[in-house]
Structure 1
Amino acid sequence: RIVKELSESVMSWNEAVSKYGFPENTLRMWKRNYNEYGVCSRKRGRPRKGGSDGDEERQTVGKREQIAARRDYYLQDVLPRLRGKRDGSSKKKTLRAVGECRRLGIPLRRCLEVLGLSSSTYHFWKSHENEESQKDKKLSEAIRCAQEQNHWAYGSKRMAKWLVSAGFADRLNHKRVERVMGKFDLHARIRRRRYPKNYYLALKENPVELPGNVLARDFIADKPMQKLVTDITYLPTNEGWVYMAAVMDLWNREIVSYRISRHISLELVKDVVSQLGPCRGTLIHSDKGWTYTHPIYIKHLKQLGFRQSMSRKGNCWDNACMENFFGLMKSETIKQSKELLSVDGMIKLIDDYIHWYNNQRIQKKLGYLSPVDFRKLAT
């Protein structure tokens, strides 16, 4: 179908490359094979020994056509795109492109005409190519030594300042340092980017439709299970971090559901709300963490009948009740312990605290009753 469209001039080579994603050389080869062999594709593999002179002649002609196609590709596409560009990366691309053109038998003068480049400039770049490589290699050795001394913690700007202060050079552009660090894989090994480079830009240009701040800091509820708040907090152990997700009922400040896990995952937040069962019309409020904005979690809430509310971006006060509970819990448990507990020890500590908090810890807002006693009295 592609070859047919090209043969009938339905689209140009560039349009075909953009539409189907195949290299132009591949498309040209397909078209050539189609013109020569028809619908039956050319047999793959090395031709049998003792082939006819016609087969050898066709192979020679095909090879010549392939070389001619590559020449056209470089003269009409590659070199024109490099015309007028003089930055460092373009210089290297220009030298590589000219070298490939020379191997294809294109005269140097013809290449320079297409590039709009003088002969003296080209030879100057060529003579300094190896010199620049040696400079980059020397700088890379200094960067590697500096990274080993500084726990591989420096980025390009900090590295440039450190090398100047260490006497490697009087001046050093951080952009050059960045280029060399990328070329020799010498980047810092901490604080790696969590999301792809264009993630935040794409998020800004294509914002996801998320629920608004329906709760609007109205932390007063008239009846049980009318308004819930939820969040995740980190708990330190001697085996690493564990993560606790909890749900609070704003009516009596009771922790109605919680779970502790070794990992932050969708299953963690889904299980916490699943423990509550179907809640038709109940409002549940959270921040805009990745677990709460995930489409699977949002769909799960809708299936259970929840109405979702989310804090404004970067505004922790919109979820103040849950944040306050976590701070209170840590101050009354973890911060009173002199040593880090094991994971099992931490889980037992939190289980005991939640039971005590719900059943025995009195609160002024509840008339000096515990959340469970307040619920029993009201019902």
Structure 2
Amino acid sequence: MPGVGGVAVVVLQVARPATHTPRQQRRDELDAAVKKAFTESRELHGSPRIHADLREAGWTVGEKTVADSMKRQSLVARAKKRRKNTTRPDKRAIPFADLVNRDFTAEAPNCRWVGDMTEIPTDEGKLYLSTAIDLFSRRLLGYATSPHPDAVLAADTIKMAVAARGGVVAGVVFHTDRGSTYTAHDFTELCRDLKITQSMGRVGSCFDNAAAESFFSTLEHEVLSRHHFTTRDEAKRVIIDWVVDFYNCRRRHSSCGMKSPIDYENSAMLEAA
């Protein structure tokens, strides 16, 4: 042991604190931002939508870099599953023409809406969800639930959609499948009274109503596959929370330039002003 003037001296080696390079620090900050965006998306968004979130927040970063960050952190959005078709056609009903012809676009709000129904399993029995979506923004304007997939359910949905648009929707084309709920006399009369023009795809062709089918595929992937519902009321609460708080207001849609339906409509209104 070394000494000075006959006195032993102990030499202590103090470890230096680790330092991050600027590149490492940026990666850590990016990872934190990616994880925050993923959490705020209810762990539903993949790299394209997370990339849009980060760009909106001021990040200059490529989608591949975002994907690498998600992979590094094991942040995975699950793949979608195809849903079962629940259409019950009425062969005696007079068919409506297909006015959409698989062109699921619209130049303005209230030009084309699409609608459909799906069944949701619960321990109490099935719950049916009916929808009306504006093709301009993919906004869910109207929705209703019931234990029965009947014309009353379809009518409640349309009434909500009309109310969401201020009560005046004359000239709107409402496109659906040929299910008996949409060809029922009471429903067709309601559409006529509201000056809504009905349009229908072919029987058994999911591609003729692909936009409505796509919404239910998203619902299955982001909500239904993650829950087991004990009661119909529980299922209704969870679904409405997703629609009101997330889908219409925050979920980015590829056909809307990676904006949410509400943001897309608001941007269009500002541009038109």
Shorter-chain TM-score: which interval? 0.5 to 0.7
Would you say the 8 A contact 2:123–2:229 is kept in 1?
Answer: yes
Would you say the 8 A contact 1:214–1:310 is kept in 2?
Answer: yes
2:254 is equivalent to residue 254 of structure 1? no
Deviation at 1:322, TM superposition (A): 0.5
Alignment match of 1:347 (pick from 236, 253, 257): 236
Question: Which one-letter code corresponds to 1:265 in the other structure?
Answer: D
Larger helix share, 1 or 2: 1
- What residue number does 1:229 align with? 114
Q: Which runs of 4+ in 1 moved over 6 A?
A: none
Would you say the 8 A contact 1:278–1:305 is kept in 2?
Answer: no
Deviation at 1:274, TM superposition (A): 1.5
Deviations 1:200-239 (A, max 9, x none): 9xx5xxx643211111111110000110000110011111
Would you say the 8 A contact 2:94–2:183 is kept in 1?
Answer: no
* Percent identity for Structure 1 against Structure 2: 31
- What residue number does 1:357 align with? 247
Alignment match of 1:297 (pick from 184, 187, 196): 187
Would you say the 8 A contact 2:133–2:212 is kept in 1?
Answer: yes
Q: How does 1:159-238 map to 2 (within 5 A)?
A: 208-238=93-123
- What residue number does 1:378 align with? 268
Q: How does 1:12-91 map to 2 (within 5 A)?
A: none
2:248 is equivalent to residue 367 of structure 1? no
RMSD: 1.7
**What CA distance in whole angstroms lies between the structure 2 residues aligned with 1:330 and 1:358?**
16
- What residue number does 1:335 align with? 225
Deviations 1:261-288 (A, max 9, x none): 1212221111111221342110000011
Question: Which one-letter code corresponds to 1:367 in the other structure?
Answer: G
Deviations 1:348-372 (A, max 9, x none): 1001110210000112221221110
**What CA distance in whole angstroms lies between the structure 2 residues aligned with 1:357 and 1:208?**
34
- What residue number does 2:151 align with? 266
**What CA distance in whole angstroms lies between the structure 2 residues aligned with 1:301 and 1:323?**
22
Deviation at 1:259, TM superposition (A): 0.6
Q: How does 1:143-162 map to 2 (within 5 A)?
A: none
Deviation at 1:341, TM superposition (A): 3.2
User: What runs of 5+ residues in structure 1 fail to find an aligned partner?
Assistant: 1-194
Higher relative contact order (CA 8 A, sep 6+): 2
- What residue number does 1:323 align with? 213
Would you say the 8 A contact 2:142–2:159 is kept in 1?
Answer: no
Deviations 1:38-73 (A, max 9, x none): xxxxxxxxxxxxxxxxxxxxxxxxxxxxxxxxxxxx
User: What runs of 5+ residues in structure 2 fail to find an aligned partner?
Assistant: 1-87
- What residue number does 2:173 align with? 283
**What CA distance in whole angstroms lies between the structure 1 residues aligned with 2:93 and 2:143?**
28
Q: SS at 1:240's partner residue?
A: coil
Alignment match of 1:313 (pick from 183, 203, 216): 203
Would you say the 8 A contact 1:211–1:310 is kept in 2?
Answer: yes
Q: SS at 1:255's partner residue?
A: strand
**What CA distance in whole angstroms lies between the structure 2 residues aligned with 1:351 and 1:208?**
32
